[in-house]
Structure 1
Amino acid sequence: MTYPRSQQGELAKFSAELSFGLDPFQRNACAALEEGHSVLVCAPTGAGKTVVGEFAVHLALAGGGKCFYTTPIKALSNQKFADLTERYGRDSVGLLTGDQSINPGAPVVVMTTEVLRNMLYASSDTLATLSHVVMDEVHYLADRFRGAVWEEVILHLPPDVRLVSLSATVSNAEEFGAWMETVRGDTTVVVDETRPVPLWQHIMVGRRMFDLFDTDSTDQRVVVDGDLVRFIRQREAEDRMNGFGGPRHGRGGPRRFFRPLPRPEVLAKLDDEGLLPAITFIFSRAGCDGALAQCLRSRLDLSRPEDREEIDRIIDKHTGDLPKSDLEVLGYWDWREAMHRGIAAHHAGMLPAFRHTVEELFLRGYVRAVFATETLALGINMPARTVVLERLVKFNGESHAELTPGEYTQLTGRAGRRGIDVEGHAVVLWQPEVDTSAVAGLASTRTFPLRSSFRPGYNMSINLIDRMGADESRALLERSFAQFQADRSVVGLVRGIERNEAALRKLRGQLGGEDGGYLEYIALRERIKQRERQLEQKGRSDRRGAAVTALVSLRRGDVVAIPSGRRAGLAVILEPDASPGDPRPLVLTEDKWAGRVSAADFPVPAETLGHMRLPRRVDHRTARVRRDLASALRDTGISAPGRPRRGKRAPAADDHELATLRRSLRAHPAHTRPDREQKARVGERYNRVLRESETMRQKVAATTNSLARTFDRIVALLTERGFVEDGEVTADGRRLSRIYSESDLLVAECLRRGLWRGLGPAELAGVVSILVYESRQEGGFLGASGPTAPIRRAVASTIGVWDDLRSDEAKHKLPPTREPDLGFVDGVYKWARGDGLAESLLASGDQGSLLSAGDFVRWCRQVIDLLDQIHGSADDPEVAATAAKAVRAIRRGVVAVDAA
C-alpha cells in the first residue's frame, strides 16, 4: 500500500505520545512499517513487541483505513481490547471473539485469529478498507491443533494489506521471513534477542538458593556453579549415610525419602529474599489448586491489612453478577480468602470471572504469589519479579515429556517487570532427579525453531475449492510455510543426490564404463546379496512365527525345555500368555528362577515334554514356593533333550531365483578375470552409493507436493460423498464451508441426514456436546447413552456416521476424525433445561472425576459456538431454530458472566 504524503513522519507523532523512548528494534520495525513494508518482529517475552502492533493501529487510523489486531486466545483479545479502548476511545475500537461482538464496524477491531480466517473465507464486507493486520504471538502457528489458522490468514489476506507479525524469539526467523517475502511481498525481519530486564537463573536446594551458572568462570562453555554442585553431592552423601537414599525393606525396591520444601516455606523464603511477586508454574490444574490449599492451611499471609478494601472492590467488580446460590459450589469463599492473603491459582479450569480477578489483583500488586499452569505464559499480561519451576517435566497431551528449551524460555520470560524490576529471577526447585547440567542447557538455549503445523482439512479444502477451484487451491497449498520448509529439506537431499551422481560417474570409470562388462557383473552380485538378505529375513520371520505359535499353545503346568542361555534346562509354565504378537509366559526353571520368557529364548519352537500338577495359587515371589516347585519339577523324571533338534533347511537352499542368479554369475565373462575381486570392491562402493541415492530420491518424492497429495485425497473423499461434484462445491459442500469444528465433516453429514431433527433445545445441546467435549482421561467414549430416548437415538446415529466416516478416511489414507466423547452429555443437558450448577456439575465429566466450574463454563461455550454454527448453516428451519433456543438456554448464570 502506498501511503499519502501526510503520513510521513507518523512515527515521530506516535513516539511523542509514549511515556518511554523506543528501543532500536522497535524503531527499526516501525520505520519499515511506515515505509510500506510488512514486518516480522521476533523478540523475547516482555521486550515490547506490541508497540509495533500499536503503531500499525496508529498508521491505519491516520490513513483512514482499518486495522485488525488478532490474538490466539480470547483472554488476550479481551486484554488488548481494553488497552486500545483506553487509548483510542470506545467509538474507535471493536471486539470479535465468537462469544462477544462489540462495535464490529469500528476502524480498529481486536479479534481471535479464527474470526479473521472465517471473515476471509466468507469474503466479509468488513474487510473493505483494511490496511493493516497485526498477528500477535504468530509463533502459535507451530501449535499442532490450531496452528494452521495463522497460515490460512497469511495466505488469504489481500496483497495490499500490511502484515505485522509478532513472535517470540525463534532460531529460524530468517527462514520464516523468507517465506513471508514469497507470499506477502516486501517483508522486513527484525530480530532482537536482548531481554529488556536481565534474567538470573537459580536452583533452590531445600532452603538454600544458589546461582545456576558460575559467572566468574573464564570457560567459554556453560559452567554450572561449583558451590551448587558440591552442596548437592554433599547432601546426597548425607542422605545415603542416614539411609535415606538406600533400599527400603519390603515391596517397591530402592526409594528416596527426599521431600521438597513445602510451598508456604518456598514463598516465605522468596519474600525474605525480596523476590516477590512470583509465579510458580505447576503443570496440572489439580496441582495448582492443591498448592493454593496447602498455603491456605498454613499461616502464610502476603497481603497488607490496608489493601483489604480495594481487594474486595476488585473482587466484587468481577464476580458481583454471579448467582448467590452458586457461590458455595464455586468454592467462592475459600477463593476470596486466598485473595485477601495475597495468593492465588490461575488456570483454564477456573471460572473466567475468578481468573480475571486474579489477573487484575496481580497486576496491581495485591496478589503476590500465583500458582499457574503454562497457559499463563501465552501472552497474558502478568509479569512477575520471579518465576518458579517445581518440575521440568510436563504432560504434552500424549505423554510426560521434559520441557523443551523453547518452553523453558517462554515460561521464565515472565520474570522481570519492565520499568519496575532491575532484574528478573528464574528459580528451579531441586529434587533428586533434577540434573543441574540439563537445567543449564535449557536456560542457556535462548531460541527454538518454528515448525509449521499446517495441513489441509475438510473445511479448509471446501472453502479453497469454492473460492479458487482445485488447481489454484493446490498451488496455494504449495505456497504454505509447511511446504516451504519441506522443500528446503528437499534442497539438501537433491544436493546429496547430485554429489552421489558425480561419485557414481567416477566409479563407473574405474569399472571400465558402461561397456566394460563389470557393471553388469557387480549388478548380479548385488542382486544375489539382496536375495540372500530377503531369504535370511524370511527365515528369521518364519522361525519367530513358529516359536510364537508354540508359546501361545502352552498351558499351565506344561513342562518345556529352554534350549540355551543362562536359563537353559527344564521349566514349568506358571502363567500362560496367549498374546499373538509377543507372548511372554511366566515360567519356573529347575534351578529355582521365576520370570517371563519370550520367543527370543527359543531358537526352535518350544515342545511340551510333559505335565505337572500345580497348586491353585502359586506365589512365585516367595523363595520357599520356588524351591518346592523346582524340586517337584526335577522329581517328575522328565529330562531335557541333549541338544535342540535341527530346524528346517534354510530357505536359500531351495530358492530357485537365487540358484538362477548364482549360475548367471558363474557364467559371466567377468567372473574368470584376474582383477575380479579388485573390481568387486569398487563395485561394492558403487552399489552402496547407488542405494543411498535411491533412498534420498524416495524421500524427495514423499516430501515434494505432500500437502497437495493430502488435498487430493480430501477432494476424492468429498467428491465420493457428494460435497464436491465435477470440481464444484455442491449445496451440501457450502454447508460444510460454514462449519469450523474439529469434527466439521461429521457435523455436516449429520445435518444432511437430518439426524438431529425432532430434538428439544436441551437435547440438541447434549448431542452436539459429543463432537466438542474431550475427556481429560482415557475412556470418555462409553457407547450410546443419554438421559432421554431421543438423545440416545441421536447419539447412536451420530456415532454410526462417525464409524462410517472413519472407514472412508482409512480407505483414502486420511487422518481420522476424532472419536465422539459422551462425558458432557448429561451435564450440558441438565444445564440447558434449567437445572442448577451443582446438579449440572455432578452430571459432568469423566468417570470418577467431575468437571471444575471453569471447565464446565469453557465446554458450555464450546457447545454454544458449535450450536451457533449449526444455527447459521442448517437448511432445516426446525433444527436451526432449536439450535438458537439451545444457545439461549445455555447462556445463563455462570456461563453468561464475564464471557472470555
Structure 2
Amino acid sequence: MTYHRSHSGELTTFSAQLKFRLDPFQRTACTALEEGHSVLVCAPTGAGKTVVGEFAVHLALAASGKCFYTTPIKALSNQKFADLTERYGRERVGLLTGDQSINPDAPVVVMTTEVLRNMLYASSDALRGLSYVVMDEVHYLADRFRGAVWEEVILHLPLDVRLVSLSATVSNAEEFGAWMETVRGDTAVVVDETRPVPLWQHVMVGRRMFDLFDAKSSEQKVLVDEDLVRFVRHREQQDRMNSWGRGGRGGPRRDFRPLPRPEVLAKLDEEGLLPAITFIFSRAGCDGALAQCLRSRLELSREEDTAAIDAIIERHTGDLPRADLEVLGYWEWREALHRGLAAHHAGMLPAFRHAVEELFVNGLVRAVFATETLALGINMPARTVVLERLVKFNGETHAELTPGEYTQLTGRAGRRGIDVEGHAVVLWQPEVDTSAVAGLASTRTYPLRSSFRPGYNMSINLIDRMGADESRALLERSFAQFQADRSVVGLVRGIERNEGQLRGLADQLGGSESGFLEYISLRDRIKQRERQLEQQRRTDRRGAAVEALVALRRGDVVAIPTGRRAGLAVILEPDATPGDPRPLVLTEDKWAGRISVADFPTPAQPLGRMRLPRRIDHRTARTRSDLASALRNTGFMAPGTQRRGRRAEAADDRELATLRRSLRAHPAHHRADREQLSRIGERYNRLRRETETMRQKVAATTNSLARTFDRILALLDERGFVHEGEVTADGRRLARIYAESDLVIAECLRRGIWRGLGPAELAGVASILVFESRQESGFLGVSGPTAPIRRAVGATVEVWDELRADEARHKLPPTREPDVGFVTGVYKWARGDGLADSLLASGDRGNPLSAGDFVRWCRQVIDLLDQIHSTADDPEIASTAAKSVRAIRRGVVAVDAA
C-alpha cells in the first residue's frame, strides 16, 4: 500500500521534534495512520518501529483523545513509560502493570497487554475516549503463555479504535495483515526488511576471525568464504591426526577445548568489536562464563568510569537490606561490573539485571553473557553478538537454532546512530558446519503461528459479554482459526489431487469391474492385521515385563539378560511405579543404579534371595565391592541368553486366518500379472490411506475452536458456573480470575478450602497453583511446614484431580499439575524469615532457587493473592490474602519491582 501525502500536518509537526530523519517505512506507516488506517509494521530489531507507536501517541494528544501503549512484559512497560514521560511530561503519561498504578487517568497510559484485556472484559470506564492502541512486540502472540491475550484484545477492541501493531520481521506478515483486515477493517501492512545498521557475519576458529560469506555471494547463491573453508578443513585434519596419535578413532575430537572466554573477549577488544553480548543458552553457563573471566586478568573498563558505575549500582540496589547482600553475591557482581563484565538472565535479582542493562546501554559494561531472554524486547543493543553454540535446550530436547531464532539473537548487533555496522560472531567447534551457519544467517524465515485457544476464564467472559452463539462466531474470527482454515484449503487441494491419482491407478488395475481393487483391499487388510498383532505382542511383552519388575522385592537376585549390565544383580530398592518401574540394583561387576523394562526383553524372574544389611550406602565404593563379592558367592548362575520361542499369535488369530483364506480363494490370486498389479495396488492403498488421513485433519480443523468452546461450556454448566447459557454468581467470580489454574482457584474459593489459614500459610498454599519447578517434578505429594498447609494443599490437589477427570471426559486439555516446590520457601518468607533460609527452602530438593527466580515467583504469588483478595466472597479469606501480600512484599521482593 502506497501513501502519497508524505508531508501532512501532524506528521510534519511530529517529525520536526525528532533528532533524526524518518526512514521511508516509518513515513509510510505514519502517513497511513494519519489518514485513518490501522497499521501493522514489521521491521527488524532496532529499525525504529516504536516511532510509529509514538506518532499514535502524538495524534491522540493532538486530538485531545486517549492512547494506550501496550507491551507483553512489565520491564518493557516500565521502559516505555520512562521514554514517554521524558517526552510528554509526568502529568500526561500513566503506567498500569500488575505491580504498579501511576496516573491511570492520564491521556496516555502504558500497560501490559493483560491489563487492557481485563479492562475490555470488565467494560472499564477507562476505555471511553480511547482513540489509539499501540501493541508493541505483537509477534508475542505466538507465545504459548501470553499469546492468547493479544488476540483477545484485537478481537474485543471497539472498531473505531485505531490499532498500531509493531512486530519483528515475520515471513507471513501479509497473512497476519489479511486477518487484521478481516477483523479490524482497513489495515495498512508496512514491511521493511532492511536493517538500519548492516550486519557482518563472522566465524571465529581458535584465535582467527574469518568472514562467513564469500565476497561473490548473492541472494541467489550463498557462498562460504574460501579461506574459512580451507582453514577449518586443515584444522579438522590436524585434529584427526592428533586423535589417531593418541590411539583414538579419528572423527571430531571429544576433548576439544574452545578458546577461553577471556581470550575471546580480548580478541574482540583488539578488533574493536566491543561492546559485545555473548549468548549462552543456560543461566549456569552465563554465571560460569563470568566467573571464568573474573579468574583471569581481563579488564575492560576504565578507571575513570568507576564513580559512574557505582552511582548506577547504588541507584538500583541502595534499598536492598544490607544483611542480604552476601546471599545475593553482591560483592562478586559489583567487582565484575567494575571490570566491565556482567551476566544477564532471569535467575538474577531484577535490581541487578536492571543495573546491568543501564550500565551496558551507557557503555560502562562492555561484555555481557546472556541467555536468549535478553533478545526479547529489552533495549540492549551491542556492536557485536557472539554465539558460542548453535544448539539450545527447548524444554524437551537439545535442538538446533532455527533461522528465526538466529536472526532474533544477532539482531541485537549494531547500535543505530553509534555503529556503522554490526557484527555476528559464531565460535567454531568440531560439530559446526560452516555451510549450515551460512544457511542460518541467510534465511529470514520467521512465520507467526497463533497460540490462541479458549480457556475457562476466556469462555466465561465471552458468554457473559455476548452469549454462546456470538462467542462461537468471535472464536471463528480468531487468527488461530484463520490460519487453520487456510491450512484446510491446502488439505482440500491435496485431497482433490490425490483423488485424481487414485482414479488413474484404479484404471490401471482394470477399474472397479475387474475385481482387483477388492483383492488389493484384502492384501492391505491382512498387512494391517499383522501389524496390529505385532504391536499387541510388543505391548503384552512389555506389560509382562512391567508386572515382573513391580513384583520384585528387596534382596531378590535376578539375571539381567542383555546389554552392558548383563549378569547377576540384587534388588536394593524395589519400585512399584505403574507403567515404568525402575528398581535400584547392584550388579556383580559393582555397578549400582536403576534398571528398567528396557533391560528385560523377557520378564525378570527371581533366581533366589540374598540377605542384605538393613542400611546400604550404595554410593560408597567399599559397600558396592563387598555386596558384589557376596552376590558372586551366592552360587546363583545367570542363565545364558535364551531365544524365546515367538508365540504364534498370527497363526492363532481367527480374523487373520479368514482374511488369508479369502485372499487365496479370490479369482485375482491366480492371475499371471498378480505381482505387477499388486505393486500398483500398494501405491493405491498408500495413497488412499494418506487421503483418508487428510480428510480426518480437515474434519478436526474446521470449527475446531468453537468445538473446544462447546466442551468447556458443557463442563462449566455441569459445575454450576453457567446455567442455561447464563453466567452464575460463581461464574462471575471465575471471570475475574486470570491465572493458568483459574477454575481450580474458583472452585477452592467456592468450597472455602482456604478458610482458617494464616497469611503465611495462604501464601504457601496459593504458590502450588502458580509455581513451576525448572525440573519436571510437579506435585510431589501432600507436604508443607504446618498441618493447616498440608490439609489445604491436599484439598486443593483433590479439586485439581476431580477437574482432570472431568477434562478427560470432555476431551479438553488438562489443567497443569500443582507444584509444591515453593510452599515452604514462600511460607518462611511471608512469616518474616531471612532470605538465605527462604531460598534454601525453595525449589527442587538439593537445587534451591536463585534470588531472581525467588523474587519472580513471590511476585506471581502476590498477583494471585491480589486476585483472591478482590474476588473472594468470604471476608476472612479476602482479608488474609491482603495481609499475605503485605507480608511477602518486603526486602528484595519490594526493591526495583518490574
Instruction: Determine if the TM-score, normalized by the shorter chain, exceeds 0.5.
Output: yes
1:439 to 437, 440, 452: 437
Structure 1 counterpart of 2:294, one-letter code: L
Does the 8 Å CA contact 1:246/1:255 hold for their aligned counterparts?
A: no
Question: What's the % identity of the aligned pairs?
Answer: 77
Q: Distance in 1 between the 2:839 and 2:527 partners? A: 62
TM-superposed deviation, 1:893: 1.8
Q: Are the counterparts in 1 of residues 202 and 425 from structure 2 also a CA contact under 8 Å?
A: yes
Residue 674 (structure 1) shift: 12
Task: Classify 1:600/1:652 alpha carbon distance in 2 versus 1 (closer, same or farther; 3 Å).
Answer: farther
What is the number of equivalent residue pairs in this alignment?
860
What is the rounded CA distance, in whole Å, between the counterparts of 1:724 and 1:893 in structure 2?
Answer: 43
More deviation in 69-78 or 494-503? 494-503
Deviation larger for 479-488 or 8-17: 8-17
Q: Taking structure 1 as reference, are residues 472 and 233 closer, same or farther at Cα in structure 2, changes over 3 Å only? A: same
3-state SS in 2 of match to 1:525: helix
CA distance in 2: counterparts of 1:558 and 1:859, whole angstroms:
46
Tell me which residue corresponds to 2:834: 836
| Pairs within 5 Å for 1:619-658 | 647=648, 650-651=651-652, 658=659
Aligned to 1:19: 19
Q: Tell me the amino acid that sits aligned with residue 388 of structure 1.
A: V
Structure 1 residues 611, 780: closer, same or farther in 2, change over 3 A?
closer
- Give the drift of 1:173: 0.7
**Do 1:67 and 1:108's aligned partners in 2 also have CA atoms closer than 8 Å?**
yes
2:458, 2:798 → 1: CA distance? Answer: 24
Q: Does residue 866 of structure 1 match 2:864?
A: yes
Note if 1:389 corresponds to 2:387.
Answer: yes
Residue of structure 2 in register with 1:186 after alignment: 186
Which range is displaced more, 731-740 or 286-295?
286-295
Q: CA deviation at 1:327?
A: 2.1
Larger deviation, residues 427-436 vs 36-45: 427-436
Aligned counterpart, 2:264: 266
Q: Counterpart amino acid of 2:534?
A: R
Output the CA distance in 2 between the equivalents of 1:461 and 1:635: 61
Judge conservation of contact 1:522–1:684 (CA < 8 Å) in 2: no
State the AA in 1 paired with 2:150: W
**SS in structure 2 opposite 1:824?**
helix
SS in 1 for 2:694: helix
Paired residue type of 1:15: S
Aligned to 1:791: 789
User: Which residue in the other structure is 2:144 paired with?
Assistant: 144
Residues of 2 paired with 1:48 and 1:580: CA distance?
A: 56
Q: Hey, what does 1:591 align to over in structure 2?
A: none
Change (3 A) 1:528 1:27: same
Partner of 2:424: 426
What displacement does 1:517 show?
Answer: 4.1
Aligned pair in 2 of structure 1 residues 715, 299: CA closer, same or farther (>3 Å)? same
Counterpart of 1:438 in structure 2: which amino acid?
Answer: A
Deviations 1:213-246 (A, max 9, x none): 1124579422222222222222233233334895
Partner of 2:207: 207
Given the superposition, is the C-alpha separation of residues 761 and 232 from structure 1 closer, same or farther in structure 2, using an over 3 Å criterion?
Answer: same
Shift of 1:202: 1.1
Counterpart residue type for residue 92 of structure 2: S
Q: Which residue of 1 aligns with 2:621?
A: none
Deviation string, structure 1 residues 631-686 (Cα, Å, up to 9, x no partner): x99999x9999x979946725777575378569955xxx99999999999988777
Q: Is the 8 A contact 1:245 1:256 kept in 2?
A: no
Aligned-residue CA RMSD (Å): 4.1
Q: Which amino acid in 2 is paired with 1:650? A: A
* 1:736-751 pair list within 5 angstroms: 736-751=734-749
Q: Note closer, same or farther for the CA distance 1:9–1:502 as it changes in structure 2 (3 Å cut).
A: same
Instruction: Give 1:113's aligned residue.
Output: 113
| Alignment counterpart, residue 524 of structure 1, candidates 518, 524, 528 | 518
- Is 1:497–2:502 an aligned residue pair? no
Q: Please give the alpha-carbon distance, in whole angstroms, between the structure 1 residues aligned to 2:399 and 2:604.
A: 44
Q: Answer yes or no: is the 8 Å Cα contact 1:550–1:606 preserved in 2.
A: yes
Q: Secondary structure at the match of 1:428?
A: strand
1:872 deviation in Å?
0.8
User: Does structure 2 retain, via aligned residues, the 8 Å contact 1:572–1:633?
Assistant: no
Q: Which residue of 1 aligns with 2:371?
A: 373
Q: Which amino acid aligns with 1:221?
A: K
Residue matched to 1:68 = 68
Q: What is the distance in 2 between the residues matched to 1:163 and 1:221?
A: 39
Go from structure 1 to structure 2 and tell me whether the alpha carbon gap of 1:221 and 1:723 turns closer, same or farther (over 3 Å shift).
same
1:700–1:305: structure 2 CA closer, same or farther, 3 Å change rule? same
> Offset at 1:697?
1.4
Counterpart amino acid of 1:311? Answer: I
Within 5 Å, which residues of 2 pair with 1:435-584? 435-502=433-500, 517-518=513-514, 521-522=515-516, 524-541=518-535, 543-544=537-538
Name the CA distance, whole Å, in 2 between partners of 1:690 and 1:466. 46
Contact 1:548 1:581 in 2 (8 A): no
Q: 1:88, 1:434 → 2: CA distance?
A: 50
Distance 1:753 1:200 in 2: 62
Query: Could you say which residue in structure 2 is the equivalent of 1:731?
Result: 729
- CA 1:841/1:677 → structure 2, altered by over 3 Å: closer, same or farther? closer
- Give the counterpart letter for 1:369 in structure 2: A
Shift in Å, 1:709: 1.5
- CA distance, structure 2, for counterparts of residue 560 and residue 441 of structure 1: 47
How far residue 499 of structure 1 moved from its aligned partner, in angstroms, is 3.4
CA contact (8 A) 1:283 1:395 kept: yes
Alignment of 1:292-311 (within 5 A): 292-311=290-309
CA shift for structure 1 position 247: 5.4
Checking the alignment, whether the CA contact within 8 Å between 2:203 and 2:211 is kept in structure 1 is yes
> Cα distance 1:310–1:813, how it changes in 2: closer, same or farther (>3 A)?
same
Residues of 2 paired with 1:320 and 1:582: CA distance?
52
Are the equivalent residues in 2 in contact too, given 1:582–1:599 (CA < 8 A)? no
Normalising to structure 2: TM-score of the pair? Answer: 0.87
**Equivalent position amino acid for 2:762 in 1:** L
Question: Quick one: structure 1 residues 244 and 299, their matched pair in 2 at CA, closer, same or farther if it must change by over 3 Å?
Answer: farther
Deviation, 1:891, is 1.3
Partners of 1:635 and 1:116 in 2: how far apart?
69
When structure 1 is superposed on structure 2, of 503-512 and 457-466 the one drifting more is 503-512
1:814 is matched with 812
Write the deviation string for residues 192-215 of structure 1: whole angstroms up to 9, x where unpaired. Answer: 111111111111122111111112
Distance 2:167 2:37 in 1: 17
User: 8 Å contact 1:539–1:650 — kept in the other structure?
Assistant: no
Shift of 1:305: 1.6
**Distance in 1 (alpha carbons) for counterparts of 2:843 and 2:435:** 41
Note closer, same or farther for the CA distance 1:811–1:648 as it changes in structure 2 (3 Å cut): closer
Secondary structure of 2:134's counterpart equals strand
Find the residue that maps to 2:829 and give its secondary structure: helix
* 3-state secondary structure, aligned to 1:650: helix
Q: Residue 246 of structure 1 contacts residue 254 of structure 1 at CA under 8 Å; is this kept in 2?
A: no
1:550/1:174 CA distance change after superposition, 3 Å: closer
Letter in 2 for 1:133: V
Q: What does 1:46-57 correspond to in 2, within 5 Å?
A: 46-57=46-57
CA distance in 2, matches of 1:883, 1:226: 66
Confirm or deny: 8 A CA contact 1:93 1:107 kept in the other structure.
Answer: yes
Deviates more, 1:407-416 or 1:685-694: 685-694
Whole-Å Cα distance in 1 between the matches of residues 638 and 679 of structure 2?
A: 60
Partners of 1:532 and 1:495 lie apart in 2 by 31
Q: Are positions 1:153 and 2:147 aligned together?
A: no
Code of the residue aligned with 1:50 in structure 2: it is T
What is the TM-score with the length of structure 1 in the denominator?
A: 0.87
The 2-side partners of 1:140 and 1:199 are apart by 24
Is residue 137–residue 167 contact of structure 2 (8 Å, CA) maintained in 1? Answer: yes
Equivalence for 1:59: 59
2:708 to 707, 710, 717: 710
Letter in 1 for 2:724: D
Match of 2:875 among 874, 877, 895: 877
SS in 2 for 1:823: helix
For the residue of structure 2 that corresponds to 1:260, the secondary structure is coil
Kindly provide the amino acid, as one letter, of the partner of residue 38 in structure 2: S
The alignment status of 1:291 with 2:289, answered yes or no, reads: yes
Instruction: Provide the residue aligned with 1:171 in structure 2.
Output: 171
The equivalent of 1:779 in structure 2 is 777
